[in-house]
Amino acid sequence: QVQLVESGGGLVQAGGSLRLSCAASGRTFSSYVMGWFRQAPGKEREFVAAIRWSYGNIYYIDSVKGRFTISGDNAKNTVYLQMNSLKPEDTAVYYCAAGRPGSESAWYRKPDSYDYWGQGTQVTVSS
């Protein structure tokens, strides 16, 4: 049974940092893309970052470039999202996802490209 379990969310003041973790189990994910998405109340789920372990490709949404860093430990089947200089607009439930690489343009930004999802972890940034 495939499971993705996020942890590390919480309440932080603007300018602070958090590190999210996503522990994956149930299969080998070395050929997969691991992504982070977020969803704020009343908004659609939004792509944040993704990493393709086998090729070392990393992708970010523009609004987090320079502030967030995605990384992974293949041996531990764990992916991380280091979030620095947090802003109130980063407040959302953050989800980890795993999917097979696609062929269409910017496939990694689309939630439908991912096969497995975690339960989410709340990140709240106060002003």
What is the reported pLDDT for 105? 82
* Residue pLDDT, tens place only, 40-77: 999 999 999 999 977 889 999 999 999 999 999 888 89
The DSSP letter of residue 85 is S
What radius of gyration do the chain's Cα atoms show? Answer: 14
Tokens of 80: 């991380």
For residue 74, which phi and psi values (nearest 5 degrees)? -60, -40
Cα–Cα distance measured from residue 96 to residue 58, given in angstroms and rounded to the nearest whole number? 15
CA distances from residue 68 to 56, 73, 86, 100, 116 in whole angstroms, order as listed: 16, 17, 9, 23, 22
What is the reported pLDDT for 111? 94
Confidence bin at 7 (pLDDT 50/70/90):
very high
**Is the pLDDT confidence value at 88 over 80?**
yes
* Residue pLDDT, tens place only, 20-38: 999 999 988 888 999 999 9
Cα–Cα distance measured from residue 23 to residue 110, given in angstroms and rounded to the nearest whole number? 21
What is the reported pLDDT for 54? 79
Cα–Cα distance measured from residue 67 to residue 53, given in angstroms and rounded to the nearest whole number? 21
Tokens of 81: 């999202």
Confidence bin at 6 (pLDDT 50/70/90):
very high
What is the reported pLDDT for 37? 98
* Residue pLDDT, tens place only, 103-125: 888 899 999 999 999 999 999 99
CA proximity to 95, closest of 7, 2, 1: 7
Tokens of 37: 């998405």
